[in-house]
Structure 1
Amino acid sequence: MPLDEESPVAQVRKNRSWEYAPFVNYGNGMGGDRSNYHFLSLGVEAGKVLTPTIHAGILSGQFQLAVNVMPFWQAYTPAPHTQTFVFQGVTYDEPVGGGTYTGASLTPVIFRWNFLTHSKRVQPWFQGAGGLIYTSHKFPPDVLVPHGTPGGTSVWNFSPQGGIGVHYFTRPRRSIDLGVNAVHISSASLGDHNPGVNASIQVQVGYTFWK
C-alpha cells in the first residue's frame, strides 16, 4: 500500500512537511480575580518539521518550528466597577476599568516537539512559545486615571506559553488539531503597574493542510 494511504503520520514524518492551519482559541483566566476573564481569538499558523527522527526512548520525535498570527484577539473582563483595596493596613475603594478588550497577537517563535508514534492517524506533541499582544486599550484593566481609561498598564503585552496537543489525520495531508495551552500575559512593566494575567488555560482547535 502506498505510504500516503497507509500512514498519513509517517508521510509527514518522512517528508518533514510544512503545515498551514486556521484555528480558533478560547480560554479562561485562572485564580483570584482573573477567573472571570475569558479569551477568544482567531488566527492562522504555519510551521515546518526541521529534523529527522531523533531517538531518545519515550521522548523520541522530531523538532518543528512554527509561527502564528491572530488578527482577531479579544478578552472579556468584568464591567467597570468599584473595587476594594488594602495597602499597608489601609482599606480604600477605587474605580477599576473593565469590559471587552480587542486587539491582535503575533507568536513568532513556537518550538514544538512531535513525538514518534506508530499510530497511522494520531500525532501528539508538546510545545513552548512566546508571543506579543496589542490591544486598542490598555490591558488588563486597572485603577482608572482621570480620563477614564485603565491606568498604569499597557497596550503591549507579552504572552509566554506552553502546551500539549494532538493532530488527528482524517486523510493524507489533512488533520484536525486540538491543543491546550497555559498562557501568561504580562507587560514586562512597560506601564507603571504590571497586574498581568498570571495564568490562563486556552483550548485551540484547528484544521491543518500539510505540504
Structure 2
Amino acid sequence: MNDSIVNQEAVTLDDCIQHAKVVLDEQIAHIKSKRYDFAPQFKEMTIQLYLVGVMWQFYEKHDFTEIAREKAFSTLCSMMIKDGIKPKRAQKQVDFLKKISKLEDGDDALAIAIGRESQPGDESLAEIFDHYVDEIGVSGSLWRHYDLGKKIILFGGLLTGFAGVWFVTIFLPESSDIFILAFGLLTAFLFVASVSLIGLLIYRIKFKKRKHPEIPPAA
C-alpha cells in the first residue's frame, strides 16, 4: 500500500513537471517576438516564480489544495535537479524564491499569482514582463554596464597596482618593500575609486533620470 502511494506521488510529480515544461515552452514562444531586454538573473527568477504558480494550479486541480503551494516549490526544486542543477544549488535557489514570493502585504508575488491563474493559449508570462519593461533596475542594459564595470575595476585595479609597483621599483630602487607595496595598493585604490565614481555618474545620467521622466506643466 505504501509503495503504491509513493509510486503515485512520483507519477504526479513527473506529470506536474511535464505540464510545467509544456506551459513554459508555449509561453516562451509568445515572448520571443517581444524582444524583452531584462537582466538574466531577473528573467530567470521571474520564470521560476511563474512556474511555481503554474505548478500550484496543477496541484490544486489534483486535490492537493491545502499543500499545493508548498508542493509547487518542492516540485520546482525536483525539476531543476532533473535539468542538471546540483541539489544544493537548486534548494538554495528555491529557498530564495520562497523568501521573495510574498509581498509586504502578504499577497503572492505577481509572477506566482499570474502563473496560478494562467490558462492554455494565453500570454500570461508576457503580461508579467510587461509590468517591468520600464523598470530600469532590472534592465539588461544596466546589467551589462554593471558587469562591464566589475571587469574594468578588477583587471584595471590589478594592472594599475602592478604598474605602481613597477614604477617605484624602477625609478626608486632604494624604497622599502612596505613602501613599494603601499604605493601599489594606493594606485590601485585610486583607479578603483575613480572608475566607481564615473560609473555612478553614468548611472545617474543614463539610467536614473530615465526612471523619473519630467512631467510637463499643466496648461
* TM interval, short-chain normalised: under 0.3
- The structure with more strand, counted as a fraction of residues: 1
- The structure with more helix, counted as a fraction of residues: 2
Report the structure number with the largest CA radius of gyration.
Answer: 2
Q: TM-score, normalised by structure 2?
A: 0.21
